[in-house]
A = this chain, B = another copy of it.
Amino acid sequence: MSTPFSPLTGAALTGAERMAPAATVTPSFSPLYRQIKVLILNGLRLGEWKPGEGIPSEMDLATRFHVSQGTVRKAIDELAAENLLVRRQGKGTFVATHAEQQVQFRFLKLVPDSGRPGSEGPAHRDIIECRRSSANSEVARALALSAGDAVLQVRRVLSFLGTPTILEDIWLPADPFKGLTAERLAAYQGPMYALFETEFNVRMVRAEEKIRAEPANEGREKLLRVEIGTPLLSVERIAYTYKDVPMELRRGYYCTETHYYHNTLG
Residues of chain A touching chain B, judged by Cβ–Cβ distance below 8 Å, are 81-83, 106-107, 109, 206-215, 229, 231-234, 237, 254, 256, 260-266
Contacts and interface: CB of A to CB of B under 8 A. Distances in A.
* Majority SS at the chain A contact face: strand
Chain B CB within 10 Å, residue with most, of A207, A213, A254, A260? A213
A41 to B, nearest CB: 15
Chain B CB within 10 Å, residue with most, of A210, A214, A232, A237? A210
Given A81-B81, A231-B231, A265 B213 contact: no
B211 A231 contact: no
B210 A213 contact: no
Contacts of A206: 264-266
Given A81-B81, A231-B231, A231-B232, A212 B256 contact: yes
Given A81-B81, A214-B231, 5 more contacts: A208-B262, A211-B260, A213-B233, A231-B232, A263-B263
